[in-house]
Amino acid sequence: MSSGNQNAGKKGYSGTAVFTPHTPLSVTYNGMDIEEHSHEGRMITLDMGNYYLVNVYTPNAKDGLLRIDYRMQWETDIREYLMKLDKEKPVIYCGDLNVAHNEIDLKNPKANRGNAGFSDQERGKISELLSSGFVDTFRYLHPDETGRYSWWSYRFNARKNNAGWRIDYFIVSDRIKDKVTRADILSDIYGSDHCPVVLEIDI
């Protein structure tokens, strides 16, 4: 089994990892090659031969949107990077994207409007990505399904009450969306404030 991990410069702050039984042709850390994004261990790109796998942990905009400017720059740069890869071969983009795209993607949209993870700016950026030739696989297969979340606060019995957010995604190049056979959220698996999300694709 091959594996790769990217640590953050600030211990315990962030990081990403990929474990795979398939040996990638290459592994790139912080593959956007932009200095501003190179210290938080937020990105791994694997060239799997007939597709790219890009695993990320998207920066949080923070309470009061204190980090929204950086978040917006990240979103612009990652979109351009994914579009560049997509010109070579299809892309599977996954991870904690730290945004609930639409009201259906969180339990309390009205109360959270404008908060980090559900600001108009962040939602607009994921809309921009999806309009650039990419597909949210869960919504592709489950367009109207409600109450399906991948993250719950540790406060207020949020998980017990299923007061969650869908912020973990598998997004793929539009031209391979028809190869997706399953996109699921395993909310019955505990051990974190997140739960696993699943993509099965015949590629």
Assess contact for 141 and 149: CB atoms under 8 A. no
**Is 188 annotated as catalytic?**
no
Catalytic residue among 52, 81, 86, 96: 96
Q: Are strands 52-57 and 91-96 parallel, antiparallel or unpaired?
A: parallel
d(CA 136, CA 121): 18
144 in catalytic set: no
Q: Are 111 and 151 in contact (CB under 8 A)?
A: no
Q: Which of 57, 81, 149, 169 is catalytic?
A: 57
Q: Answer yes or no: are the C-beta atoms of 59 and 71 closer than 8 Å.
A: yes
Distance CA 13, CA 144 (A): 35
Contacts of 65-74 with C-beta under 8 Å, sequence gap 24+, read 65/114, 65/116, 65/119, 65/121, 68/116, 68/119, 68/121, 68/122, 70/36, 71/121, 71/122, 72/121, 72/125, 73/36, 74/37
Give catalytic residues, as residue numbers. 57, 96
